[in-house]
Amino acid sequence: MKVLVVYSHPVEGSYASALRDRVLAGLKAGGHEARLNDLYADGFRPELSAWERTNHLAAPDTKPEIATYAADLQWCEALVLVYPTWWSGQPGMLKGWIDRVWVTGVAYDLPEGSNRIRPRLKNIRRIVAVTTHGSSKLINTLQGEGGKRVVTRGLRVLCNPLTRTKWVALYRIDGCTAADREAFLAKAERTMQRLR
């Protein structure tokens, strides 16, 4: 498969960067063709400008800052998001990527006179989130799992109608042992190797 990995963490050498590396290793071992968008390393600007908000229905070719990211999104068959969950959701950098790249003409169309968007990313048939949480699965469930909902309900509906999602999460990372962390790295790598 053609796989786009979008990685969001500001610190090289972090556990998240180890996850990114194992995800990429698993994809390579599985014979997949992968591209990496490392948002911090790229210097991606996450804030939506006043011009972008006012012109959110403008054609994507009027937004050259997102051209490469949009092309990668339209190229892939699978999207893998690698990030830590902060405050029950995606880090601001990743949320900014969603705000700025998943726009009309890239992720959806809004035909003239219509009040219903039409999905454009029919090339994407798999979305996988690989993430960590400081709190337990129970606490996340009680909080409503906002980050998971963005992936499984928000992004998914702009993709192929048959798109499947997978949530690969390590809960209670703050209380995990080194063995727990290594086991999760191995799980992430295996998941990518078996991606179909």
Sign of CA dihedral 96, 40, 24, 175: negative
Q: What is the mean pLDDT of the chain?
A: 95
Query: At residue 99, does pLDDT exceed 90?
Result: yes
Query: At residue 32, does pLDDT exceed 90?
Result: yes
CB 147 within 8 A of CB 156: no
Query: At residue 57, does pLDDT exceed 90?
Result: no
d(CA 146, CA 88): 6
pLDDT at res. 95 = 97
Average pLDDT over residues 42-53: 95
pLDDT at res. 18 = 98
**Please, what are the domains in the chain?**
2-193 (3.40.50.360)
Put the strands of the sheet holding 126-132 in their side by side order: 33-38, 2-7, 78-84, 126-132, 164-170
CA terminus-to-terminus distance, the chain:
7
Q: Is 106 exposed, middle or buried (0-12, 13-18, 19+ CB in 10 A)?
A: buried
Of 34-38, 56-60, 162-166, 176-180, the least confident: 56-60
Average pLDDT over residues 90-95: 97
Please write the tens of the pLDDT for every residue from 142-170: 888 889 999 999 999 999 999 999 999 99
Query: Sorting pLDDT into bands at 50, 70 and 90, what band is 10?
Result: very high
